[in-house]
């Protein structure tokens, strides 16, 4: 039984080895960082010196084996490494220069086996910076030139190892350089795809945020504009009747209270969408629909607007988004009539057809002059051809109506009536389908 090693010996041996390994890795990392930060000329000079330093012992050993002068071999190697200083700027001319230097060694010097290390480095550089076809063409031409010179100046079967070595010295760097270039291209393409996907993801996120903001803006506008308009009208009635008819003034104040409470309830519902927007069981939209249309019309009648409602067809089940869109479109159309039409009456017509609901809201007020609306399709207060504000309002409500109709898969048309007044028409599918 062999004696066991003393405890701790392995750790003592592994400790210095681990430290030496870490030191080597750190030194290599520092050298790589220096190369990245250095100028191209400094990098090329470093490569040329490194090539000579590493290949000089090989050249000396070959010269010693072939019984030639070592100094000539090392000097020839140094001359062949000089063009590498310009390898980054002129890769193909550097390949030609290094091959020419090696060919000259066959002719001028008694060196049967020159060391083409500089040519290998130049071919590697050319393969990285060129396309695959050109890189292999340059490598093949270099190999043919060197092999031909070797066979001319050193014929015989004993030159076969030299020919094989020249093939390895010329074609291996081309293969390695082509592989490195291909890998870099693959990595660059992968990074580009990742960046494109990230940009697409960010753009989609921004689009969703914008769509959500517009949806919330529509809800807030519809709630606030409608109820504030009614409160303003009822407050005017109360102020006018306060001294002459206190009972009716008191009723107007009660309606102001009820309208304000309704506005607060709808605002709470809208804020709830923001607070619990990630809850899958929370309601995604406020709930008003055509079931509450009569109450909406009564609120406008109490504010002094004469409103009539007509039904045609057979009412069917509406999808939630269509039901809400129909309610909000009628609400906004009547709000605009109350704000802009002056003393007027409004008529609402609901036409339930096989697969669509047609909504028409018309008033006979003075409204906004037809000449001020532009020649193209219009939204109240907005000239769609010139984006020119033609009213005292912002036009956000009518824009919101158009967006609601589009979101429900329908269309909206607006414009002045030939005989005076204004008309809003909407066509909504009974079962909403979003249009792309």
Pick the range with the lowest mean pLDDT from 139-148, 156-165, 210-219, 392-401: 392-401
At residue 205, does pLDDT exceed 90? Answer: no
Q: Give the pLDDT band of residue 9 (cuts 50, 70, 90).
A: very low
DSSP 193-225: HHHHHHHHHHHHHHHHHHHHHHHHHHHHHHHHH
Q: What is the dihedral of CA 105, 108, 113, 118, to 10 degrees?
A: -10
DSSP secondary structure letter of residue 372: G
- 84-104 b/e (C-beta count within 10 Å ≥ 16 → b): bbbbbeebbebbbbbbebbbe
Q: Is 368 helix (H, G, I), strand (E, B) or coil?
A: coil
Distance CA 64, CA 154 (A): 18
DSSP class of residue 344 equals -
Q: How do residues 51-71 score in pLDDT, each as one tens digit?
A: 888 888 887 887 777 677 777
Grade residue 359 by pLDDT with cuts at 50, 70 and 90: very high
**Which residue would you say has higher pLDDT here, 10 or 250?**
250
Task: Give 272's pLDDT tier (boundaries 50, 70, 90).
Answer: low
Task: Give me the pLDDT at residue 38, please.
Answer: 66
pLDDT at 435: 45
Q: Beta strands 378-379 and 345-352: pairing type? A: unpaired
- Residue pair 132/178 in contact by the 8 Å Cβ criterion: yes
> pLDDT at residue 360 above 90?
yes
Q: What is the pLDDT of residue 406?
A: 87
Q: Over the stretch 291-315, which tens digit does the pLDDT of each residue have?
A: 888 888 988 888 788 899 998 888 7
Pairwise CA distance, residues 68 & 114, whole Å: 11
Better-scored residue on pLDDT, 339 or 171: 171
How far is Cα of residue 219 from the mean position of the Cα atoms in its chain? 29
Tokens standing for 383? 């000239």
* Cα distance between residue 74 and residue 114, in whole Å: 10
Examine the pLDDT at 410 and tell me if it is beyond 70. yes
What was the pLDDT predicted at 243? 79
Taking 90 as the threshold, does the pLDDT of residue 231 lie above it?
no
Q: Which of 252, 285, 251, 253 is nearest to 270 (CA)?
A: 285
Tell me the range of 40-49, 125-134, 230-239, 242-251 where mean pLDDT is highest. Answer: 125-134
Does residue 83 surpass a pLDDT of 80? yes
CB 124 within 8 A of CB 91: no
- What's the rounded mean pLDDT across residues 42-57? 84
Q: What is the mean pLDDT of residues 333-344?
A: 81
Average pLDDT of the chain is 77
Q: Which tokens is 403 given?
A: 């967006």
Residue with tokens 């607070």: 275
Rounded to whole angstroms, the Cα distance separating 149 from 119 reads 15
Mean pLDDT (whole number) for 170-191 = 90
Confidence of residue 391 (pLDDT cuts 50, 70, 90): very low
Q: Which residue has the higher pLDDT, 37 or 279?
A: 37
Categorize the per-residue pLDDT at 39 as very low, low, confident or very high, splitting at 50, 70 and 90.
confident
Q: How far is CA 24 from the centre of its chain?
A: 42
pLDDT for 340 beyond 90: no
Q: Please compute the mean of the pLDDT values over residues 72-87 and round it to a whole number.
A: 84
Q: Residue 352 forms beta bridges with which residues? A: 313, 357
pLDDT of 358 reads: 93
For residue 69, what pLDDT is reported? 72
Q: Which residue in this structure is represented by tokens 């999808």?
A: 319
pLDDT of the residue at 379: 36
The structural domains of the chain, ordered by start, are 27-200 (no CATH), 290-436 (3.30.565.10)
Whole-number pLDDT of residue 273: 58
User: What are residue 312's DSSP bridge partners?
Assistant: 351
**Residue positions counted in the chain:** 436
| Mean of pLDDT values over 136-147 | 89
- Using CA atoms, how far apart are residues 2 and 25, in angstroms rounded to an integer? 37
- Based on C-alpha coordinates, what's the Rg of the chain? 44
* 104 touches 155 (CB < 8 A): no
Q: Is 415 helix (H, G, I), strand (E, B) or coil?
A: strand
Q: What is the pLDDT of residue 156?
A: 66
Give the count of beta carbons closer than 10 Å to the beta carbon of residue 15: 10
Question: CA angle, corner 204, sides to 203 and 206, nearest 5?
Answer: 65
Quote the pLDDT of residue 223: 66
Highest mean pLDDT among 18-27, 153-162, 396-405: 396-405
C-beta of residue 271 within 8 angstroms of C-beta of residue 282: no
CB 404 within 8 A of CB 345: no
Closest CA to 382 of 396, 362, 361, 366: 396
217 has pLDDT over 80: no
pLDDT band at 427; cut points 50, 70, 90: very high
Q: Which positions ≥6 away from 92 have C-beta within 8 Å?
A: 126, 130, 138
């Amino acid at each position: 039984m062999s004696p066991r090693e003393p405890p701790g010996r392995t750790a003592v041996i592994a400790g210095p080895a681990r430290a030496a390994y870490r030191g080597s890795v750190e030194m290599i990392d520092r050298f790589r960082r220096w190369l990245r930060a250095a100028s191209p000329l400094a990098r090329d000079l470093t490569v040329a010196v490194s090539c000579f330093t590493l290949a000089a012992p090989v050249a000396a050993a070959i010269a010693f084996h072939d019984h030639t002068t070592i100094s000539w071999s090392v000097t020839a190697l140094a001359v062949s490494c000089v063009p590498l200083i310009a390898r980054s700027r002129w890769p193909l001319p550097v390949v030609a220069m290094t091959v020419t230097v090696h060919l000259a060694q066959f002719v001028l010097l008694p060196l049967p086996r020159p060391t083409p290390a500089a040519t290998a480095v130049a071919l590697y550089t050319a393969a990285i910076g060129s396309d695959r076809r050109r890189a292999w063409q340059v490598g093949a031409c270099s190999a043919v030139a060197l092999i031909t010179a070797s066979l001319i100046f050193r014929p015989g079967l004993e030159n076969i190892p030299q020919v094989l070595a020249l093939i390895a010295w010329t074609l291996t760097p081309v293969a390695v350089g082509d592989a490195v270039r291909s890998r870099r291209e693959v990595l660059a393409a992968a990074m580009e795809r990742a960046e494109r996907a990230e940009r697409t993801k960010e753009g989609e996120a921004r689009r969703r945020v914008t769509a959500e903001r517009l949806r919330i803006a529509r809800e807030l506008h519809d709630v606030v504009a409608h109820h504030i308009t009614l409160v303003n009208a009822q407050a005017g009635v109360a102020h006018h009747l306060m001294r002459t008819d206190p009972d009716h003034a008191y009723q107007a104040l009660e309606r102001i209270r009820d309208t304000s409470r309704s506005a607060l309830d709808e605002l709470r519902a809208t804020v709830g969408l923001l607070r619990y927007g990630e809850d899958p069981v929370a309601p995604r939209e406020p709930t008003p629909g055509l079931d509450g249309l009569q109450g909406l019309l009564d609120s406008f009648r109490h504010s002094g607007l004469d409103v009539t409602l007509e039904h045609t067809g057979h009412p069917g089940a509406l999808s939630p988004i269509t039901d809400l869109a129909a309610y909000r479109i009628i609400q906004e159309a009547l709000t605009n009539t109350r704000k802009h039409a002056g003393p007027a009456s409004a008529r609402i017509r609901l036409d339930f057809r096989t697969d669509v609901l047609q909504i028409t809201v018309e008033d006979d007020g003075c409204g906004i002059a037809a000449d001020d609306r532009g020649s193209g399709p219009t939204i109240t207060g907005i000239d769609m051809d010139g984006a020119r504000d033609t009213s005292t309002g912002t036009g956000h409500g009518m824009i919101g109506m158009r967006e609601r109709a589009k979101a429900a898969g329908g269309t909206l048309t607006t414009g002045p009536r030939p005989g005076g007044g204004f008309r809003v028409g909407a066509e909504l599918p009974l079962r909403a389908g979003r249009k792309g």
